[in-house]
Structure 1
Amino acid sequence: MGTSRLYVVKNIRELMECMYTSGGTINFGKELQYNNTKYMFKDKDQEIINIIKEIYDLNLEVMNRVYTNRSIFFSGKRVFLSEGQLKNILAIKNGKTINLDYKGEHYKDITVSLGNMPTSFYMFMKGDNLNIDMNGEISQAICENTGLYYLNNTLYLLSEKEKSDFIPLHRAFTKSKNNTISFKKSSINDVANFLIPKLKSISPIVIKDESVKELIKEEPLVTEFYLDKDKDRVTCDVKFNYGEESFYYNLENESKNIKEENQQLLNEKEVGVSEDIVIRDLVKERKTIEKLYGLGFKNIDKSFYIEDEDELVEFLTYGVEELAEVGEVYYSDSFKEIKILTPKSFNSSIRLNDSDLLEFNFNIEGISKEELKATLTSIKQKKKYYKLKNGSIIPLQGSEFKDIYSVIDNFDISISKLASGSVEIPKYASLYIDEKINKGALNFVTRNKGFKNLIDNIKDVKSNEYRVPEEQGEVLRTYQEIGFKWFKTLSQCGFGGILGDEMGLGKTLQAITFINSEKQEGNLKNKALIVCPTSLVYNWVMEFEKFSKDLRIVAVSGNKAEREILIENIEEYDVIITSYALIRRDFEYYEKMKFDICIIDEAQYIKNPTSLNAESVKSIQAKSKFAMTGTPIENSLTELWSIFDFIMPGYLKTHGKFNKNFELPIVKEKDDKALEELLKLIKPFILRRFKRDVALELPPKIEHKIVVDMTSEQKKLYYSYVDAYKDEMEQEIKEKGFNKSRMKILSLITRLRQICCDPASFIENYKGDSGKYHALYDILEEALENNHKVLLFSQFTTILGSIREKLNKKGINTMYLDGSVPSKDRMNLVKEFNEGEPSVFLISLKAGGTGLNLTSADMVIHFDPWWNPAVEEQAEDRAHRIGQKNTVEVIKLIAKGTIEEKIYNIQEKKKEIIDKVIDGEEHTELTLSSMNEKELEELFS
């Protein structure tokens, strides 16, 4: 080894120790003092070093076991190799020259070569004997078991297959005289079928003289299969043809010859009589027979048969085509009577009828309604096939029937009605069915013009010619105009939808433009209803006043008497805006009304399908229903179902069926097919864009976390509480069980989170400090010096109050917002902050996560992490939204070595929920409520 010159490695074991154990330096000479940090080996040489390293490790293990210092596999510059190790090293040295000492023989500068030697064979007749010559010098077996042979200064390394063919021949030629093997005439048939194929595998040059060519014929194999029906079984005869010579497969002869070398067949020639000898491709014949066994055939004498009905159906459906790939297939008349009904026999159509419903039918040519019903029922029962009364078979495992059944199942189609004729299904099934026709297996389904036009309108929203009202024409961005057209298209088609644009992209403006357009076109006779969180009611009012002054707007709010007066005069208005809280209280009025449009904002407010919010909103009668949310899923797929249950009731079926068909398979079983089906159903009705894609003028958002060390007082307190809470939690679970202990565990976790921020938030006599306060002061000092405006979010209002007090003492003016601030006052606070002082806005996470436009701020601080990253992102997007001119910096303060670090890791995992389900990948559920006992215990570790 060396760099500019080579040095002999006199002690290989010492080199291994230097490289992998002790380190240090080995002095090879003036030009090489080796150490493992300075020098590296070339890739190929490193591969050899790796093999020697394996031997070195084994050497150490053996020495340790037998308690000896004496090396077992190393001796100075020698290392003892197993046959496998030698073979691996030689394979690495392919094409290179080496020196080899073997059994006292020295081979110098020989070339290593992988593969067969350059050998040729000559066959000729001498009297009644067939002779085979090996031309040239016979190679020398260096290590027969390893497949090492030496010839003409080259060391050949044979593969296992080459070795198995070559070794018997090499032995025979080595023992022979004059490099010739001789066979009697009676053995020529065996020579033709066994030996000649081996010769050809060893060398492409096998020369035959004329007498041998006349005696031994060489023709390509042509296989023929003869299929017949014998009562309830299918039979198959196999014939192997070589030119004019034919051979039937015969079980008796296979049994005789299965013990032959390489277990190849010698079959009795039963067709044709000839003195000629045929070279048969016995390997290919054997593979053909194995193919038949693989297709379910059994064997009697020279015939194969299938009588098991399941295997027979499988063969008739798929196996016949597989046989045709191997050889020529011939059918008897009785076999032809067996009918397999394929999709060519299917007839189906989908049309948009005059009742504005989809009309779907499906039938199979030549079968009755009763048998069609039985066939469809068999699919539901997951049977492999259905056998008709006339003996014909319908395979049921093809993708065509799977897609037919998915349509039946997803849209609750009655099998009895479908078998009897056409069925009407809701129009919202159109996109799903069209997807199955175009990309699935339902390409035999015909579509009428009305259906095609419906699909074209929905798929090509951009091209639909809807006029943007003049009031919004100048302010709409391109992507917002597409959103407006999306509203119009779905509404016109009778569908609902979810506008799931990322927060800050102007969902409100798109909805206002849609409502204004409907009013101008005379489609708002029954008014529009907007339902939103209490904090956003007046934000909607302001947006309408700003962008659509012609619409008559009323915010139904105030006390009960005030609301009753507004509701009594509701006919005077075009748009009614109210909150989730008030629609519950005033439901007796709203349930009697009919609306043209109902839009719910921050639709995650109905994520719990059993909540009063969800029940109240879902009872509203409206022609078009839309949901707006930047977080269609926060925690589970049930939330998505609940929103769809509002916009298009019944589309995703009942919650129980949705849970069975989608949520459990996707979340618990990671079922990709279930996910794919769900995405096909929901994607057409969700419009979701991201700032990075459509708001190219929006500055970036930079996120980073700052890990903060707690003060010594905090640490002592935190870890003492952790120990106490672990015992308390274990006792609680022991007494009440895990599920009944969740609320208690949550309260314990909350206390630990408060200690991470400020123990004084619940411990009255705590006089110590908080590490986070020090970090916050440093951040704010630098931020304010550089004229940044800051939004500071916390889950805990007590801690926000403490921060406010401490910052005021430091001369830092702040603004404060939590859930106690009335909706009207919120807008004034927002306006005041955006227009001037102060520079720090303290906001509770829940109160300020939605509806606020605070683009004057360019820094967001999360004082404490929350379980759900979507909630935090909503808060961040109060600043990072349309109108922002500066890069927004998001800082997360995380207490080192605490539960907060674990929460942060949970956040990172949960980000897959929206990104991967709503955007078409996969979904994993991870929420506090879904965590098991072990996972919750880890939070306290």
Structure 2
Amino acid sequence: MSLYQSTLAYIEDEEEDQDQSTQSQSQSQSDTYMVGFIIANIVGLQYYSGRISGREMVGLVREPMNQYDSNAIKVLNTRTIQVGHIEKKVASVLAPLIDSNLIHVEGIVPKPSKKGNMYKIPCHVHVFTKLDAFETVKSAFWQSGLSLLSENSPLFSTSESMVVKEKKKGDVDEIFKLVDENLSQNKVNGIMEPPKDLILPDLFLHQKEGLYWLYHRENSDELPPFWEVKDGVFVNVLTHYETDKRPEPLRGGIFADDMGLGKTLTLLSLIALDKCNASNDGKIEVIADETKPLVISSGKRSRKGKVIQTGSRSKKQKIEDYVGQRGSKMTLIVCPPSVFSTWITQLTDHTKRGMLKAYMYYGERTQDVLELQKYDIVLTTYSTLSYDLESSNSKSPIKKIEWWRVILDEAHIIKNHKSKQSEAVNKLNAKRRWVVTGTPIQNGSMDLFSLMAFLRFDPFSTKSYWDSLVQRPIVQGNAKGLSRLQALMATISLRRTKEKALIGLPSKTIHICNVELSEDERKVYDEMEFEAKKFVTGYIERGMVTRHYSTVLSIILRLRQICTHMELVPSDVRSSISSYNFEDASNNPELLKKLVILLQDSEDIDCPICLSPPSKIIITCCAHIFCQNCITRTLNSKALCPLCRRKLSESDLFAPPPEFNPEVDNSSYQSSSKMAALIELLKGTRNENPSIKSVVFSQFRKLLLLLEEPLKKAGFKTLRLDGVMNAKKRANVMKEFEAPNPDGPTILLASLKASGTGINLTAASRVYLMEPWWNPAVEAQAMDRVHRIGQKEEVKIVKMIAKNSIDERITLLQEKKQKLAKEAFGKKGKEEKREINLDDLRTLMSL
């Protein structure tokens, strides 16, 4: 989560555009409690195939675009198949409350009577809201004439609510405990060798164990977790759903090994097994018969797309016959563009020539399904997939293929379940589904819901079940929530850390270099922080953080920049923050210009709708920042700003000018305390060993430019790697840095986000982080570009932290996030009560 997102994580719940009263306590969306329940009918059963056979939880999903009723609430069973709708008179009351984020609802169907009505089923709808909204919600139901059964009602105890039942018996936790104790399908109790005729290198022991786990997950016929056979009927013990049809096995999961442990090669070994007959005793027989090479290489562009292959085309008919006889065992790999090079390098270096063919479905690409079926692997990006599956163009072959396997690499990209990337991957048709990421939890437990949705892990792939069973207990500080999350992760994921993988990787140490700001820096910092506190305190007291979001963002960013180098902060900001009040930029071109500069100064800004770096940036007249597609799609359904609820139209949207290069005036150059400390550390390393290479990471591109001249004067040869470079230039920089030239460059100045994924920096053994990143997972990814398989030297990480500053307070919030991510895979520990909220903003500003 970027600073942008984190500052806004509480927005929808804390601030309404009509209510500017003081909000003294912040709560996240899941920090809600049951105010009561109503009894409603599920109607229209005859029109849908979903069935309910016993006492079951059901999913209640708003359907605002329903052509017959804009208040529609559809009902799904635990297999995510629609059963019907909530009756209109109830939906007309619930829908406005749901849409305004005042309540959310969950449903459970009592055990139906034998003489029930075949066209409708009664459902207990449980209503959740914040404690301070209880009376408001009760009043809304009273005025509507609906009977809300709350705790003071004698009928409250008749509720079928899982929440009420938990308080009495705790049977749900017993179920989780039993599942946790019987993870036979998840235990890594064997090893598997890759097919030697296809995979060239010997795998490490942990990779062979990983291959065994992956293969057996894909080929197991066991019931999915939480399913049992009772009296010849299959029952989900969590949701009480019954069926006489055996549920499909959960063929896939989360491959969450630590970054740098060789997940890509392990997955290629799994793909290679598709060309073999593998027996349970580990014997493998290669069935593919390719005699002429079809080499995976850098590839050539054809009229039909980018094909990474060279060599003979005389095998065309043979390949088509092979696809026809064997069935199409095609693997789709979805990843960021920067990770393409990793997959291609692994294919080129570690697989036998011509045995695995790959196609880059990116840029100019084929629309021919038969063309794609010639390849074992299709590589694409999340954005390409989103465009293809969102587009009305039905020609996309991605839509038409039933993939043998889909692998989402760097899958934390889909952590927001509402983003277009998440929606796109969920539309894929696949027999096997894998989520691959070393950081499945970056900001909080809600990150995992989108992964469950993609994996189709019922019932956790339905949000109401996830909220009820996992999310709400975690957010409310209930220890049961963490234990459930741990059992769930143990059931569906495999994670090994570098410390436990026994691969002989050199050690990694992390040091904090506490930097004392100079007298001038301290004066400017203290003055700006004093003024910033007044602004932020006023916004919090008036409940107007959202309306002044860009000002708050600017304040926090500028405080961070002063800690690194005062040249990063415009002179007018150093004199007064008030010049950066962005409340309304519609008729103020100077403010818009400043906001553009703010965007270009920092990498730590994401679109709050898709939670990804903005593509085709749009700035609204209320000074909020979105992707063009995200905000346009939102305005099509509701003409309001998603953040501050201000009325918006397309005329209120502004596009910033193209990317600009920060100007650096070396003639008036002044050093900074952090920069001076860095150069001294680098000199010390050079004195220790002149051949040691270092990577200096920063989120500020201007700082990388500012560092070039002083490092040159200090006798260092440097290279720079940042986000504005094209792929070819980046590749050239990497090649030059990796070359073992004694007279070559020893320092790489790298943009943190541009270098966080998809590159190998094992030529270096020293890492310097010039400022703490809001999301510790991004820092971890950057560190692990250096500390990974292939590293021969001890790795030393140095984090540059300005004393008595916002730097220190960001590290405190980092520790909070890391704690949850670590404990999700553990067995003990107390859970944090909340994710990012107003209290964290107060911490940042030392209020």
TM-score normalised per structure 2: 0.56
Report the Cα distance in structure 2 between the residues aligned to 1:846 and 1:586, rounded to whole angstroms.
Answer: 26
Farther-moved stretch of structure 1 (694-703 vs 789-798): 694-703
Check if 1:899 corresponds to 2:643. Answer: no
Check if 1:798 corresponds to 2:702. Answer: yes
Change (3 A) 1:632 1:555: same
Check if 1:546 corresponds to 2:546. Answer: no
Change (3 A) 1:405 1:382: farther
Aligned-pair distance for 1:370? Answer: 6.3
Q: Do 1:529 and 1:599's aligned partners in 2 also have CA atoms closer than 8 Å?
A: yes
Check if 1:715 corresponds to 2:522. Answer: yes
Q: State the secondary structure of the residue aligned to 1:891.
A: strand
Farther-moved stretch of structure 1 (526-535 vs 567-576): 567-576
Q: How does 1:150-169 map to 2 (within 5 A)?
A: none
Check if 1:778 corresponds to 2:680. Answer: yes
Q: Equivalent residue for 1:931? A: 837
Q: Do 2:200 and 2:350's aligned partners in 1 also have CA atoms closer than 8 Å?
A: no
Q: Equivalent residue for 1:5? A: none
Q: Equivalent residue for 1:921? A: 828
Q: Equivalent residue for 1:762? A: 569
Check if 1:833 corresponds to 2:640. Answer: no
Q: Equivalent residue for 1:563? A: 365
Report the Cα distance in structure 2 between the residues aligned to 1:852 and 1:471, rounded to whole angstroms.
Answer: 24
The match for 1:518 among 268, 274, 290 is: 274
- Return the index of the structure with the highest Cα Rg: 1
The match for 1:673 among 480, 484, 487 is: 480
Check if 1:747 corresponds to 2:554. Answer: yes
Report the Cα distance in structure 2 between the residues aligned to 1:825 and 1:515, rounded to whole angstroms.
Answer: 31
Q: Equivalent residue for 2:448? A: 640
Gap regions ≥5 residues in structure 1? 1-356, 358-367, 384-395, 408-431, 440-454
> What CA deviation, in whole Å up to 9, does each residue of 1:760-805 have, x standing for no partner?
1132599653101110110111222323110111111111121123
Change (3 A) 1:488 1:779: same
Q: Equivalent residue for 1:807? A: 711
Q: Do 2:254 and 2:494's aligned partners in 1 also have CA atoms closer than 8 Å?
A: yes
Report the Cα distance in structure 1 between the residues aligned to 2:465 and 2:343, rounded to whole angstroms.
Answer: 36
Change (3 A) 1:939 1:858: same
Q: Do 1:862 and 1:891's aligned partners in 2 also have CA atoms closer than 8 Å?
A: yes
Change (3 A) 1:938 1:758: closer
Report the Cα distance in structure 2 between the residues aligned to 1:754 and 1:776, rounded to whole angstroms.
Answer: 16
Q: Equivalent residue for 2:500? A: 693
Aligned-pair distance for 1:849? Answer: 1.0
Aligned-pair distance for 1:372? Answer: 15
Report the Cα distance in structure 1 between the residues aligned to 2:534 and 2:813, rounded to whole angstroms.
Answer: 24
1:818 maps to amino acid: D
Q: Do 1:599 and 1:627's aligned partners in 2 also have CA atoms closer than 8 Å?
A: yes
Aligned-pair distance for 1:645? Answer: 1.3
Q: How does 1:125-524 map to 2 (within 5 A)?
A: 403=171, 435=179, 458-459=185-186, 461-463=188-190, 468-472=195-199, 474-493=201-220, 494=249, 495-521=251-277
Q: Do 2:173 and 2:480's aligned partners in 1 also have CA atoms closer than 8 Å?
A: no
Change (3 A) 1:835 1:650: same
Q: State the secondary structure of the residue aligned to 1:554.
A: strand
Aligned-pair distance for 1:922? Answer: 3.9
The match for 1:652 among 445, 460, 465 is: 460
> What CA deviation, in whole Å up to 9, does each residue of 1:473-506 have, x standing for no partner?
6421111011111111111134211111111100
Farther-moved stretch of structure 1 (725-734 vs 789-798): 725-734
Change (3 A) 1:923 1:812: farther
Q: Equivalent residue for 2:648? A: none
Q: Do 2:198 and 2:272's aligned partners in 1 also have CA atoms closer than 8 Å?
A: no
Aligned-pair distance for 1:868? Answer: 2.3
1:532 maps to amino acid: C
Q: State the secondary structure of the residue aligned to 2:510.
A: strand
Q: Do 1:701 and 1:887's aligned partners in 2 also have CA atoms closer than 8 Å?
A: yes
Change (3 A) 1:505 1:398: closer
Q: Do 1:518 and 1:524's aligned partners in 2 also have CA atoms closer than 8 Å?
A: no
Change (3 A) 1:841 1:566: farther
1:701 maps to amino acid: K
Q: How does 1:44-59 map to 2 (within 5 A)?
A: none
Report the Cα distance in structure 1 between the residues aligned to 2:706 and 2:432, rounded to whole angstroms.
Answer: 47
Q: Do 1:635 and 1:926's aligned partners in 2 also have CA atoms closer than 8 Å?
A: no
Q: Equivalent residue for 2:132? A: none
Report the Cα distance in structure 1 between the residues aligned to 2:547 and 2:721, rounded to whole angstroms.
Answer: 35
Report the Cα distance in structure 2 between the residues aligned to 1:862 and 1:774, rounded to whole angstroms.
Answer: 14
Q: Do 1:738 and 1:933's aligned partners in 2 also have CA atoms closer than 8 Å?
A: no
The match for 2:531 among 710, 724, 734 is: 724
Aligned-pair distance for 1:382? Answer: 14
Change (3 A) 1:671 1:586: same
Change (3 A) 1:897 1:581: same
Q: Equivalent residue for 1:884? A: 791
> What CA deviation, in whole Å up to 9, does each residue of 1:683-742 have, x standing for no partner?
121100011111341111111101111122211111111122222223444566234444
Q: Do 1:733 and 1:741's aligned partners in 2 also have CA atoms closer than 8 Å?
A: no
Report the Cα distance in structure 2 between the residues aligned to 1:789 and 1:875, rounded to whole angstroms.
Answer: 15
Change (3 A) 1:938 1:607: closer
Aligned-pair distance for 1:433? Answer: 9.2
Change (3 A) 1:486 1:779: same
Change (3 A) 1:369 1:654: closer
Check if 1:577 corresponds to 2:382. Answer: no
Check if 1:612 corresponds to 2:417. Answer: no
Q: Do 1:530 and 1:600's aligned partners in 2 also have CA atoms closer than 8 Å?
A: yes
1:554 maps to amino acid: Y
Report the Cα distance in structure 1 between the residues aligned to 2:727 and 2:832, rounded to whole angstroms.
Answer: 34
Q: State the secondary structure of the residue aligned to 2:218.
A: helix
Change (3 A) 1:542 1:867: same
2:340 maps to amino acid: V
TM-score normalised per structure 1: 0.51
Identity %: 31
Report the Cα distance in structure 1 between the residues aligned to 2:769 and 2:207, rounded to whole angstroms.
Answer: 30
Q: Equivalent residue for 1:853? A: 760
Q: Do 1:783 and 1:789's aligned partners in 2 also have CA atoms closer than 8 Å?
A: no
Q: How does 1:592-607 map to 2 (within 5 A)?
A: 592-607=400-415
Q: Do 2:545 and 2:552's aligned partners in 1 also have CA atoms closer than 8 Å?
A: no
Q: Do 2:186 and 2:213's aligned partners in 1 also have CA atoms closer than 8 Å?
A: no
Say how many residue pairs are matched: 514
Change (3 A) 1:924 1:461: closer
Q: Do 1:910 and 1:925's aligned partners in 2 also have CA atoms closer than 8 Å?
A: no
Report the Cα distance in structure 2 between the residues aligned to 1:814 and 1:764, rounded to whole angstroms.
Answer: 29
Change (3 A) 1:481 1:382: farther
- The structure carrying a bigger helix percent of its residues is 1
Q: Do 2:762 and 2:790's aligned partners in 1 also have CA atoms closer than 8 Å?
A: yes
Q: State the secondary structure of the residue aligned to 1:503.
A: coil
Q: State the secondary structure of the residue aligned to 1:462.
A: coil
Change (3 A) 1:918 1:872: same
Change (3 A) 1:712 1:694: same
Q: Do 1:793 and 1:845's aligned partners in 2 also have CA atoms closer than 8 Å?
A: yes
Report the Cα distance in structure 1 between the residues aligned to 2:276 and 2:806, rounded to whole angstroms.
Answer: 56
Report the Cα distance in structure 2 between the residues aligned to 1:631 and 1:578, rounded to whole angstroms.
Answer: 21
Aligned-pair distance for 1:824? Answer: 4.5
